[in-house]
Amino acid sequence: MTEEFIEKVKEACPVAVITEGTNMIGASPSSEAQVGRNLDAIVGETSGLVLADFAKADVDRLNSFYQVAKGNGRALAVTLKQAYLLSQLANDPHLKLPSLKGEDILIFQKAKKTYYTWEKEALRLRTAIDSAKVAEMQRSLILVCSFYDFEELINIKPAPASCYILSASESFDEEAEIDHERLINWLVHCGLPQYHVHVSGHIMPLHLKKALETIRPNRIFPVHCGYLELFERFMKGVSEKIGLPEKGKLYNL
């Protein structure tokens, strides 16, 4: 998808590109394939329920968990939001996503009084399972469950040797840190160790330079970049003008 995007941008001949510059220092190359291998090792050693939390719109990570679940004789139970997303993307040939018609993917229905229209549509896709059903079959499941779904664990009662896999970025602000502390309290209460298996979604410096060399914009605006001087020197020759955008300033392109 990234390479296709770069080619489309190149065809558009943009006069300027706004790009991140997050990984100019401390870049740690990894891949989704490595994430999959790490997940497989953890799930393969877990005899109880596997709880997983990752960005709901991250279809690559969803696919990784699905393949790992399938390879370990488990089903992946996704959220209503993910089920709806899968149904909407089912005909995209580039994504190769799992089908909701398969026996190795299920829909988890969290207990609630009212449902949005799109949630009702997701529930019509196939029969969903609730926390009582999860409790019965937890040793054969990977359950996608965020911190905000943890009240369901009261009824699920994770079996001994269960675990929780956080497959997203760690806390980055005060509010997220507070939520993380609450998460830890839940994990302690339920006897669930936490694994952190993630790969940065931020582009690596060499890949970014190659992309910008392909696009060849007249101007580059790096954002989320703590090392502008390094960025400018590294990208020398790619564009005539490189500089952080200033708040409130009007740029004539």
Q: Categorize the per-residue pLDDT at 152 as very low, low, confident or very high, splitting at 50, 70 and 90.
A: very high
Contact 97, 59 (CB under 8 A): yes
The model's pTM = 0.79
Strand partners, 163: 50
pLDDT of residue 40: 96
Mean of the per-residue pLDDT values of the chain: 89
Mean pLDDT on 207-217: 90
Could you tell me the pLDDT band of residue 172, with boundaries at 50, 70 and 90? low
Output the furthest CA–CA distance in the chain (Å, rounded): 63
Amino acid at residue number 94: H
Which bin fits 25, alpha (ψ -120 to 50), beta or left (φ > 0)?
Answer: beta
CA distances from 66 to 81, 101, 124, 253 (A): 16, 14, 21, 45
Question: Which position has the token pair 């080619």?
Answer: 7
Residue pair 144/75 in contact (Cβ under 8 Å)? The answer is no
Domain ranges for the chain:
2-27+205-242, 32-196
Give the model's pLDDT for residue 45: 96
In a 3-state reduction of DSSP, which class is residue 177?
helix
How high is the pLDDT of residue 187? 93
Q: pLDDT per residue over 65-96, tens digit each?
A: 999 999 999 999 999 999 999 999 988 887 88
What is the arithmetic mean of pLDDT over 162-176? 79
Whether 72 and 41 have beta carbons less than 8 Å apart is answered as no
pLDDT at 147: 85
Per-residue pLDDT at 229 exceeds 70 = yes
Question: What percentage of the chain reaches a pLDDT higher than 70?
Answer: 95
The more confidently predicted of residues 142 and 226 is 142
**Under CATH, which architecture does the 32-196 domain have?**
3-Layer(aba) Sandwich (3.40)
Name the one residue in this structure whose structure tokens are 């209503």: 80
pLDDT above 90 coverage of the chain, percent: 49
Which tokens sit at 237?
Answer: 């020759």
pLDDT at residue 75, as a whole number: 97
